[in-house]
Amino acid sequence: MVEKLPTQFRKSPEISVNFSFEDIASGLGVIQFWGCASEDDGGNDYHLVSNQTVYSQPPATRRTGTGTTTIDFDTSPFNYSRTPKGTAHFSANMGTDTNTETVKVLVQLKHLAADGTTETNISSEITSQTYTNGGGGVEDEVVFLPLPITTNKVIKNGESLRMTVKLTTNGAGNNSVGHDPKDATYVGLDTTRVMTLLMPFNLPI
């Protein structure tokens, strides 16, 4: 008679996930992103990165002349689904170098489909204060904007978060908005070049 050996199963290790007391109380987890640019022979791409140890090239975007320059900052495709919820917060620095010239930025958050093209707005477009150069030299001012999430759309695996920033000016001078995680020196922005987004997501608890 052949003795039947007992079947044994290896127990999988338990997964431990830690949340702060503030996160649990609010039901939200906040991820900090930094605006950043990369440059190659094909031109510039713009990114939302979760690591502040990288430099941006260029460290800011400049516009010369009246009008609007639109910049789309994208995260890498998500590896798992997340649902934006609550109010995000945006901070950056804008500057101008011409007397009486004005500068402002407009910011909006979007869901970006896996095709890299299809967008769905998840916040309204919020407009910063307008800064007017009063001295004729390089002058700049920090922007801080709350961005309430208006659509709790799930960002699925393979999809991305997009932050659209519009730099708007009214004159022919040099006008800039900064986006360097390491705050590299850039002529036209003396205070800071760092652009940050505090992005809240619903916690899976």
Whether 154 maps to a domain, the answer reads: yes
Query: Can you give the residue range of the structural domain that contains 188?
Result: 28-202
In the chain, the number of structural domains is 1
Question: Given this model, what pLDDT does residue 152 score?
Answer: 85
Whether 63 maps to a domain, the answer reads: yes
Question: Given this model, what pLDDT does residue 19 score?
Answer: 47
Question: Given this model, what pLDDT does residue 4 score?
Answer: 55
Cβ atoms of residues 60 and 160 within 8 Å: no
Whether 17 maps to a domain, the answer reads: no
Q: What's the CATH code of the domain at 186?
A: 2.60.120.260
Of the candidates 193, 184, 194, 169, the one whose C-alpha atom is nearest the C-alpha of residue 98 is: 169
Whether 155 maps to a domain, the answer reads: yes
Question: Given this model, what pLDDT does residue 6 score?
Answer: 54
Whether 48 maps to a domain, the answer reads: yes
CB within 8 A of 19, min separation 6: which ones?
29, 203, 205
Burial class of residue 6, CB neighbours in 10 A (0-12, 13-18, 19+): exposed
Whether 41 maps to a domain, the answer reads: yes
Whether 150 maps to a domain, the answer reads: yes
Cβ atoms of residues 148 and 61 within 8 Å: no
Whether 99 maps to a domain, the answer reads: yes
- The pTM of the full predicted model, rounded to 2 decimals, is 0.86
Q: What is the pLDDT of residues 160-176, one digit of tens each?
A: 999 999 999 998 888 99
pLDDT in tens, the chain (205 residues): 555 555 554 554 443 444 454 554 456 799 999 999 999 988 899 999 998 999 999 999 999 999 999 999 999 999 999 999 999 999 999 999 889 999 999 999 999 999 999 999 999 999 999 999 988 788 899 999 999 999 989 999 999 999 999 999 998 888 999 999 999 877 667 788 999 999 999 976 5
Question: Given this model, what pLDDT does residue 9 score?
Answer: 46
